[in-house]
Structure 1
């Protein structure tokens, strides 16, 4: 695997761990953007924080990195309604730009995060990738 891909794995992992930790250090920030239709906003913030930290750590552990990448994809999809709620209702968060431009850019960025995590759902070892391809061909 390229050094570039590995560097980006570490950047994603550390970034998501930091964001996860902020769910505990500043939960009220995240509670503000939980859609009002969802019950237990505080609990949802803490649960998503736990999964962000675990997903980030797991992305760094070779034996579980693929599983963690899939988990992060699910998490990025699960929290998307909060991003929509923030944009649609123009919810201001401290230390985050409050311009309509930022709100518009922030939503498609979730797709970038999903694609970034998806990159790590494939085996890192070319031999392992070849074995998967051979198994898929055998099923045909």
Structure 2
């Protein structure tokens, strides 16, 4: 829930700033990429203090769980930077879409095992979590696709031709 709140709050602030201020370079897509970058920065940083809980999301057979958590945290932070660089935003967008698909099984495992990542124990919400997480994951993928791949310039086209 916190990542979604971060994403939408930053986007809303930037949208309102564009409406009331004079920010000619602040396009809709740039606002979307900045908001996603802020969310990824927040979630990426959270991998470090919550590494033990996030490691519980990974399958038993996977070695070096803490290192995997740290690596994915670093990838999220680098992705936040990549979204803001015009030369890498499209590639970063595609990589994030793949990343969001790849981490989805960890979310399923976390739900099935009742993982509480903040407390690093197994008293989390369980399968009810998936009813929120599945649409959220699809939303994140759609967000990245729209703001980095489909409409990277941020120009809103109201009519064709």
The TM-score normalised by the length of structure 2 is: 0.67
**Cα distance between partner residues in 1 of 2:35 and 2:116:** 27
Deviations 1:38-75 (A, max 9, x none): 22211211111111011111001111100111111121
User: Aligned with 1:121: secondary structure?
Assistant: helix
**Cα distance between partner residues in 1 of 2:38 and 2:26:** 19
Structure 1 stretches lacking a partner, 5+ long: 127-140
Q: Which residue of 2 aligns with 1:85?
A: 109
Please say if 1:113 is aligned against 2:140: yes
Structure 2 stretches lacking a partner, 5+ long: 1-24, 155-161
**Cα distance between partner residues in 2 of 1:101 and 1:78:** 21
**CA shift for structure 1 position 30:** 0.9
State the Cα RMSD in Å: 2.4
Pair 1:89–1:26, CA change in 2 (3 A): closer
Identify the range of structure 1 (35-44 vs 70-79) with the bigger mean alpha-carbon deviation. 35-44
Q: 1 or 2, which has the higher helix percentage?
A: 1
The TM-score normalised by the length of structure 1 is: 0.76
Q: Which residue of 1 aligns with 2:48?
A: 24
Aligned length: 125
